[in-house]
Amino acid sequence: MEIDSVKCDFDQYPYKVNTYARQLIVRESSLTVRSLVTSCRLLNATRSDNNPHGFIIEAFTITENKDLQTIKDSLMERKRNYIGKVQDWADDRLRRMCGRITPGKRLAVILVMFFLFGGLSIYITVSSIYNIGKRDGQRLQIEHIKQLPLQGNDTTKSINPLNRPEYGRSTEE
């Protein structure tokens, strides 16, 4: 979401606000750019930590939400086509190779592969069962997230207007 501009009319209460923005929708095969225009009214409210600006949004409406441009990703399409061609080539090659083998040899290949993969499956299962409990005495160490140290203690860089001394409070006391 890219906000182009925000138009506020503070001359008449409730305050009217229009927002103009562009929305970027990224998909696997395309990028869509949309125009987004919204409007609402702002009402005065008590400032708090959860509402530092002291406004309530009322009658929020989306007045425009239309596609401006769609960009197709030809690279993804080419990759898909290439993968499909490789799959077709491998399938065709394997069928031709298997078609040349006699039925007796084909059965022998299938049985060898069956016993090879079956033996590998049994080995993995037995070794997993054998290793259960080997690390029974070790416990997973869990650390809590620590607060990062903030650079400086300058309240003039705060986005919260209550932390800024120039917002209606006297700096001389």
pLDDT tens-digit map of 57-77 = 999 999 988 888 887 766 667
Asked if residue 136 has pLDDT above 70, the reply is no
pLDDT tens-digit map of 145-157 = 777 766 555 555 5
Phi/psi of residue 22, nearest 5 degrees: -120, 135
Tell me how far apart the alpha carbons of residues 57 and 106 are, in angstroms, rounded to a whole number.
73
Can you point out the beta strands (E) in 30-160?
Answer: 30-44, 55-72
Tell me how far apart the alpha carbons of residues 98 and 116 are, in angstroms, rounded to a whole number.
19
Fill in the DSSP letter of residue 145.
P
pLDDT tens-digit map of 6-59 = 888 888 888 899 999 888 888 877 788 888 899 999 998 888 888 888 888 999
Judge contact between 45 and 70, C-beta under 8 A.
Answer: no
pTM here is: 0.41
pLDDT tens-digit map of 79-129 = 778 888 999 999 998 888 878 888 888 889 899 999 999 999 999 999 888
Tell me how far apart the alpha carbons of residues 169 and 155 are, in angstroms, rounded to a whole number.
14
